């Protein structure tokens, strides 16, 4: 599979925690403030119902992504019993604890590192990943899908629009608004402001990682190619496409896989 796979700063093991947390905190704030993932919720709700799942294991959660707004959207779909567990290879524990408090416990978290391609059997649930799948090279991305199929867990992957020109243009144009919003990002951290306005490490890292993310997003054809490498993929129903976002030229790619009803393991 021919694709651009440059590094992102937040992925690097030596990335300072304050920079990584600054990036993920900011992305979490934007996702919740904009309610940007709302258009994909009906598809996800239908998948949860097909699986009979009420527990979600979110992989590569960063600082919790848009889950504060997402659980409200699930409520509108009649899924008020859904509970979410956040996880990450580099868990942002303070942000996770904030999400748990703000959600009155509907969002909980795993405080140790979780590899999305090797999830412990004791930590099962319908798997989700928002804006994180592009971080994985094809072999690792296929391993994420393979682990889900191996454990017979439903999975929903949501990522950015593969239109590189529009995506990069959006990232660049959005940066001034991000700088204005930074003091309102929660949980509040003085060091985030210092490394935004005095030494601008965080906004520069967000700009760099944002551009690279757009370059790395898998398009639907590439997602289908990954699925076809997964042993047992025939036992799943797969939905892959681009979900439109109202009043936006950009959409979001999605991949949703659920075990076929007659083959679901109880």
Residue 262: pLDDT band with limits 50, 70, 90: low
Q: Answer yes or no: is 1 within a domain.
A: no
Cβ-in-10-Å burial (0-12, 13-18, 19+) of 63 comes to buried
pLDDT above 90 covers a percentage of the chain that reads 79
Q: Using alpha carbons, select from 104, 111, 25, 103 the residue that is nearest to residue 68.
A: 103
Q: Answer yes or no: is 113 within a domain.
A: yes
What is the predicted pLDDT for the residue at 148?
97
Instruction: State residue 110 phi and psi, 5-degree precision.
Output: -100, 120
Q: Answer yes or no: is 129 within a domain.
A: yes
How many Å is the Cα radius of gyration of the chain?
18
Query: How many separate domains does the chain show?
Result: 1
Average pLDDT over the chain reads 92
Q: Give the global pTM.
A: 0.90
Residue 107 sits in a domain whose CATH number is 3.40.50.150
Q: Answer yes or no: is 4 within a domain.
A: no
Range of the domain at 23: 9-263
Q: Is residue 103 within 8 Å of 86, Cβ to Cβ?
A: no
- The answer, yes or no, to whether residue 122 has pLDDT greater than 90, is no
Q: Answer yes or no: is 154 within a domain.
A: yes
Q: Answer yes or no: is 2 within a domain.
A: no
Q: Answer yes or no: is 162 within a domain.
A: yes
Which position has the token pair 């942002």?
92
What is the predicted pLDDT for the residue at 264?
42
Q: Is residue 138 within 8 Å of 1, Cβ to Cβ?
A: yes
pLDDT in tens, 177-234: 899 999 999 888 899 999 999 999 999 999 999 999 999 999 999 999 999 999 999 9
Cβ-in-10-Å burial (0-12, 13-18, 19+) of 144 comes to buried
Q: Answer yes or no: is 204 within a domain.
A: yes
């Amino acid at each position: 599979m021919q694709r651009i796979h440059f590094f992102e700063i937040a992925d690097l093991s030596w990335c300072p925690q304050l920079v990584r947390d600054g990036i993920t905190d900011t992305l979490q704030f934007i996702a919740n403030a904009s309610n940007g993932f709302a258009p994909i919720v009906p598809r996800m709700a239908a998948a949860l119902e097909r699986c009979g799942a009420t527990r979600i294991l979110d992989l590569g959660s960063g600082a919790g992504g848009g889950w504060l707004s997402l659980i409200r959207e699930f409520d509108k779909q009649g899924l008020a019993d859904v509970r979410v567990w956040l996880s990450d290879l580099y868990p942002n524990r303070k942000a996770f604890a904030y999400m748990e408090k703000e959600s009155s416990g509907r969002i909980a978290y795993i405080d140790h590192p979780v590899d999305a391609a090797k999830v412990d059997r004791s930590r099962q649930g319908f798997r989700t990943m928002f804006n994180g799948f592009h971080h994985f090279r094809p072999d690792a991305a296929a391993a994420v899908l393979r682990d889900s199929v191996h454990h017979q867990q439903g999975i929903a992957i949501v990522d950015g629009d593969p239109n590189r020109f529009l995506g990069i243009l959006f990232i660049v144009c959005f940066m001034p608004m991000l700088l204005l919003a930074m003091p309102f990002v929660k949980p509040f951290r003085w060091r985030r402001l210092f490394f935004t306005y005095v030494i601008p490490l965080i906004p520069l890292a967000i700009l760099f990682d944002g551009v690279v993310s757009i370059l790395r997003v898998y398009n639907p054809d590439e997602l289908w190619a990954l699925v076809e490498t997964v042993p047992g993929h025939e036992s799943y129903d797969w939905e892959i496409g681009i979900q439109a976002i109202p009043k936006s030229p950009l959409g979001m790619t999605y991949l949703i896989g659920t075990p076929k009803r007659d083959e679901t393991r109880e």
